[in-house]
Amino acid sequence: MKDIYFVTELTGAGGEIRYIPVPSRGNVLSVRVASDLQMDAAGTLTFSRGATTVNLVTVPAGNIAAGTILDGVPDTTSKGLIFDPSDTTAANKVIKMTDDATFLGGAATITVLIKYDDSAYVVQPASEA
């Protein structure tokens, strides 16, 4: 298990993309986010492998005060997707983070903690072994 800490500035305009290199083969177990500015109700921060969401942080109704930790929710279908820095597909080497236009009310610094499972493995059917 590895903790990946990521600190970045966002303008609050939305559609900003950040790529976080993965340290080893593994998958995203959980995501936690804190901001130095209020996070606005219904705003989202998406963590994905390419175009496929693996974890989604959604601000609940009523907004979230600056300094409050907000937990993401793993995607029920894609939460176990494997990332690998040795993969030949570029999208599989990084965790893609994208905010929407309603996530923040303006420019802010966010801190992200990704719990990364580096003991991930793929079950291979006997017929393919």
- CATH number at 89 reads 2.60.120
Q: Is residue 64 part of a domain?
A: yes
Report the pLDDT value the prediction gives residue 129, as an integer from 0 to 100. 46
Concatenated DSSP letters for 17-69?
Answer: EEEEE-SSSBEEEEEEEEESSPBPTT-EEEEEETTEEEEEEEPPTT-B-TT--
Q: Is residue 53 part of a domain?
A: yes
- The residue segments making up the domain with residue 39 are 2-119
Residue pLDDT, tens place only, 7-36 = 999 999 999 999 999 999 999 999 999 999
Residue located via tokens 């291979």: 124
With CA atoms as reference, report the closest residue to 30 among 119, 109, 112.
112
Going residue by residue through the chain (129 aa), what tens digit of pLDDT does each one get?
Answer: 999 999 999 999 999 999 999 999 999 999 999 999 999 999 999 999 999 999 999 999 989 999 999 999 999 999 999 999 999 999 999 999 999 999 998 999 999 999 999 986 665 555 554
CB crowding 41-70: b at 16 or more within 10 Å, else e:
eebbbbbbbeeebbbebbbeeeebeeeeeb
What is the distance, to the nearest Å, from the Cα of residue 92 to the centroid of all Cα atoms in its chain? 13
Classified as helix, coil or strand, 11 is coil
Number of domain units in the chain: 1
Q: Is residue 39 part of a domain?
A: yes
Q: Is residue 129 part of a domain?
A: no
Q: Is residue 43 part of a domain?
A: yes
Q: Is residue 113 part of a domain?
A: yes
The angle at the Cα of 49, spanning 94 to 11, to the nearest 5 degrees, equals: 75
pTM (2 decimals)?
0.91
